[in-house]
Structure 1
Amino acid sequence: MSLKVFVLIVLVLLPFGDALSRDDFPPHFLFGASASAYQVEGAAKEDGRKPSIWDTFAHAGNANRYTGNADIACDQYHKYKEDVQLMAKMGLDAYRFSISWSRLIPDGKGSINPKGLQYYNKLINELISQGIQAHVTLVHWDLPQALEDEYEGWMSRRIVKDFIAYADVCFREFGDRVKYWTTVNEGNVFAIGGYDAGFVPPQRCSPFSTQSLIYNCSGGNSSTEPYLDRQHGFIGFNLLTYGFFPLTNTSEDISAAKRAQDFYLGWFLNPFTFGEYPDIMKKNVGSRLPLFSKSESNLVKDSIDFLGINYYVSFYVKDNPGSLQIKDRDYMVDMGVELQPVFENGTTTDQFPIVPWTLHGLLDSLRNTYGNMPIYIHENGQQTHWNSSLEDWSRVKCLHDYIGSIPNILRNGVNVRGYFVWSFLDVFELLAGYESSFGLHYIDLNDPTLRRQPKLSAVWYSNFLNGRIMDPMITMEVQKKNPSVVLSTFVSNNPILQKVQLKANNSC
């Protein structure tokens, strides 16, 4: 074990000046980790499960972006007890996962699969037995392929009846133990990626668009289809969120930042709050934007009990009025803006910028625009290469900085109720397959046992959750000490550390 690893482990255990403690948070504040059915379960063809649109997408080449599929993935279908034990040892309050519609109701409608029902009952019961709350997402982009084949899935209003029936099964069978339900994960990105750019399933776009050439998508209309997604108003909803900040202090860029937020977030939050789409969307999209009937407006207004947000990056926004002169426009062009990622010094191109002030700015803006609704940060984390070192320092820093920013956000009056790390395990990632990872635990895909190996971020998070004061600062003073002497005392008293398996070269 190298000096660097010893130093890092000591640093996640010892207090320093800029300390972080769980005591900084209200007792009811939840800490957890997230995953989704297709990305983690595996057993894709077992016990009655049938393909989802994600299976089809992966086996067709993942839009030429990467290789691989999640037929096996982390095999949580068979290893759920082991994973729940890991969660309990870490001290998680909650686990956010999704139900595979294709496993529970394989044809999308009709008969319930008893094996699928049994699996989710066992998973939920195992979580509860360990004192871990189940936070369940109904649709994490994995619509049964049967419904896509029958009536083009979410493109048809027939989906409403089948989704209600599926949700009713979930509420009826699991509702006595599950208190937190999210209908759709990242509804905005699902609409954009699946029906505009075509880089995620069901991969629809205009046949002659730029996206068609890049991602080999077809059979759609990028000008109209992104706007056809419907909000159904069950319990809670999840969006991929960004902070939008004007590039300059000009009135044009200030208006552009507001316009970007209206398109990305107001697209869903305005109907949920006010019963209508934002005025700027009505103006720029025109007749391509579906209208709400009076009954539909009343149905969606005030229909969510909480908002789930996934947060990774923010953007500076520059006004781009020229794009609105394009004749055949899609969703991105309709906004009339240019976006530039917010970076901080030291950020590398293969990692997300760690800029907590942008999260604070986003949450303030949501509260000021839509009221102080309960918010759960459903996803936040850091991307690394799959086979990178178990010394995932960048992920430790990400967790420390973002979690450390939340007490100030709470003191500012924002109604944040919980924080979930994406992801509990290294999973099959949406946009990279097995090339990059976000997991607290590494899985060697060449190991037939798919052994879970905790990274330093898992150790850090566990120590934080178990009430130890945390600080990740690396100082020259600590590096000059003999870390093996300092560390021995903590290892002997820390069962989590005793289980950390690090190879001699400290890499996977």
Structure 2
Amino acid sequence: MGINIIIIIIISLLPLFLLISILGGTDGVDNRCDFPSDFIFGSGTTAFQVEGAAKEDGRTPSIWDTFVQSGQQTGDTDVGCNQYHKYKEDVKLMADVGLEAYRFSISWSRLIPNGRGPLNPKGLEYYNNLINELLLHGIQPHITLYNYDLPQALEDEYGGWISPKIVEDFSAYAEVCFREFGDRVLYWTTVNEPNVFVLGGYDLGFLPPERCSFPFGRNKNCSKGNSTTEPYLAMHHSLLAHASAADLYRTKFKKDKQHGHIGISIYGISLAPSTNSKEDVHVAQIAKQFFYDWVLHPLMTGDYSNLMKKIVGSKLPIFTKDEANLVKGSYDFIGITYYGDMSCKYMPNNWSVEYRDVYADLQIQMGFLSITERSLTSAKSLKGVLQYLMQEFGNPPVIIYENGFETERNSSLQDVARVKYMMEHIQVVFDALRNGSNMNGYFTWSFIDVFELLTGYKTSYGLFYVDLDDPNRKRYSKFSAKWYSNFLKGKTSTSLDSDAATKLLFYS
């Protein structure tokens, strides 16, 4: 009996010993108490990825529903993680962890089923209930208005983001959200990752609405679209929609009533030169034009950069004077989603093509740009992203809205590698703050295992495992949830010395 008990204890301690051996005893930030009191720690999900109830209570399909139903992505999203019915349980878990904020998105087609026109009372009730439940537990709601899930009705009617009509419809949708929820919501993101969904959805076609054209599409189902022009149109209209919603919020709601903050969120991958050669440095700079400056330069100046204009030429839409004034300064913060890095290398080539998409525009400018596979574990590259924002864009207010580590789904709840990832990235965030970064928050991705947009249920990022084989979709806390909880409550250390490690084990 005694030997069996000892064996059980040793097995239970293995993840802890492994974590200590990985991290050693390096100095670092201890816990949440080392950060400013107004710095926000949270976690997040999005509507399509967790809500389920896809065909319930008046919700209509989004372009992502159509994408899944066409067989381009596999997995049950009708029920999914079922947060629509389990939001109270999830909010209780958030409170137990000690989250200060929860970032989620609103399903446009749940709130306004036709994309415009009458509200859905059940959709309105759900989001009011979720917001109220969060506040009841002392958790800030951070809302994203658009996360890849355009109502299919608007896509069918006029092509969604490639049409200027989207600006008016998005603004009307945003106004409903500000009016109905803004008395309790202080942080709004208009559009999430336009620098990803315009490339995936309108150039390469591997994301909804699967628009692309030969020879650029990576999706055999691309039967419509124009990879040469549509990505630039979709981005242009995304910027105008964002700016229109931000202006509406500031003039009609923020000034006298709500006093919140509004911004846009971009995919913030690090793009570093492979070597210090001037050629590699130059192509890395060009790559950044398409991942950062394409979105941020108009927000800072009211226009696309001169280099972007030179590369793209007449395909790049033009802001009118009024539009330029609308877009310039149309943010209170910039949201960043960060997972890893890529390296850029110049490869001489006389390559020329008759037809050009975004990547061809980028590559032809300076020989051939080779971008390597990204690393999903490099915390130091986050430092480069934050430095670029400081140096090139005047150090705008920043919130890291997504940062997470991918594992295979159904892997052990002892996700030691994820804890190591979180520790290292939180340390970079802390160092950046000390070095003058105007950063206001850090959110892990994701709160629970969700339907991942690229891999479905094959991989996971969550602090909590969701048993999809259980009709009740039971949640199980992972090692990372326990570590994050102790970090937020001041009970553990990112350096995880032996004393802190012991606390982690016995406070959990």
SS, match of residue 204 in structure 2 = coil
Residue 11 of structure 1 contacts residue 472 of structure 1 at CA under 8 Å; is this kept in 2? no
Whichever residue aligns with residue 383 of structure 1, its letter is E
Q: Does 1:18 align with 2:27?
A: yes
TM-score, normalization by structure 2: 0.88
The yes-or-no answer on 1:338 pairing with 2:370 is: yes
- Of 463, 466, 477 in structure 1, the residue corresponding to residue 486 of structure 2 is 463
Matched, 1:268 2:295: yes
The number of equivalent residue pairs is 471
Gaps of 5+ in 1: 344-351, 498-508
What SS does the aligned partner of 1:87 have? helix
1:392-417, Cα deviation, whole Å (9 max, x unpaired): 11111110110112111011101111
CA shift digits 1:299-320 (9 cap, x unpaired) = 1011111000100111211124
Deviations 1:345-399 (A, max 9, x none): xxxxxxx2x2222111111111110111110000001000111111111111110
In the other structure, the counterpart of 2:233 is: 228
2:450 and 2:462 in contact (8 A); partners too:
yes
Deviations 1:450-481, CA, capped at 9 Å, x for gaps: 11000000011011011113246699x99xxx
Map Cα deviations across residues 32-73 of structure 1 (whole Å, 9 max, x no partner). Answer: 0010000000000000101010100011012xxx42241111
Judging changes above 3 Å, is the alpha-carbon distance between structure 1 residues 248 and 316 closer, same or farther for their aligned structure 2 residues?
Answer: same
Matches of 1:249 and 1:52, distance apart in 2: 45
2:434 counterpart residue number? 411
Paired AA for residue 231 in structure 2: P
Q: CA offsets, 1:424-470, max 9 Å, x none?
A: 00000000001001111001110111110000000110110111132
Residue number in structure 1 paired with 2:5: none
Out of 33, 41, 51, the position equivalent to 2:51 is 41
**Partners of 2:27 and 2:495 within 8 A in 1:** no
Query: Per-residue deviation at 1:79?
Result: 0.3
Amino acid aligned to 2:95: A
SS of 1:338's equivalent in the other structure is strand
Which residue number in structure 2 is paired with residue 216 of structure 1?
221
Which residue identity is paired with 1:216? N
Structure-2 change in CA distance of 1:286 and 1:9 (3 Å): same
CA distance 1:170–1:289, change in 2 (3 Å): same
Shift of 1:287: 1.0
Q: Name the residue aligned to 1:84.
A: 91
Distance in 2 between the 1:191 and 1:321 partners? 28
Go from structure 1 to structure 2 and tell me whether the alpha carbon gap of 1:323 and 1:163 turns closer, same or farther (over 3 Å shift): farther
Specify the code of the residue in structure 1 equivalent to 2:118: S
Aligned to 1:180: 187
* Paired position in structure 1 for 2:61: 51
Separation of aligned partners in 1, 2:360 and 2:132: 47
* 8 Å contact kept, 1:324–1:334: no
2:453 matches 1:446? no
Change (3 A) 1:11 1:474: farther
- Give the secondary-structure state (helix, strand or coil) at the position aligned to 2:371: strand
With 433-442 and 318-327 compared, the bigger mean Cα shift is at: 318-327
What is the Cα deviation at residue 216 of structure 1?
A: 2.0
Runs of 4 or more above 6 Å deviation: 10-15
**Residue 390 of structure 2 is aligned to residue 361 of structure 1:** no
Which residue of structure 1 lines up, in the alignment, with residue 451 of structure 2?
428
Q: Secondary structure at the residue paired with 2:118?
A: coil
Q: What does residue 403 of structure 2 align with?
A: 380
Q: CA RMSD in A?
A: 2.3
Would you say 1:305 and 2:316 are equivalent positions?
no
Deviation at 1:341, TM superposition (A): 3.9
Cα offset, 1:252, TM superposition: 1.4
Of all paired residues, the percent bearing the same amino acid is 52
Shift of 1:114: 0.4
Contact 2:19 2:416 in 1 (8 A): no
Separation in structure 1 between the aligned mates of residue 431 and residue 313 of structure 2, nearest angstrom: 41
Distance 2:133 2:19 in 1: 30
**In the aligned structure 2, how far is the partner of 1:322 from the partner of 1:51?**
45
Give the AA of the match of 2:46.
Answer: S
C-alpha contact 1:42 1:72 (8 A) present in aligned 2? yes
What CA distance in whole angstroms lies between the structure 1 residues aligned with 2:141 and 2:82? 19
Residue 8 (structure 1) shift: 2.9
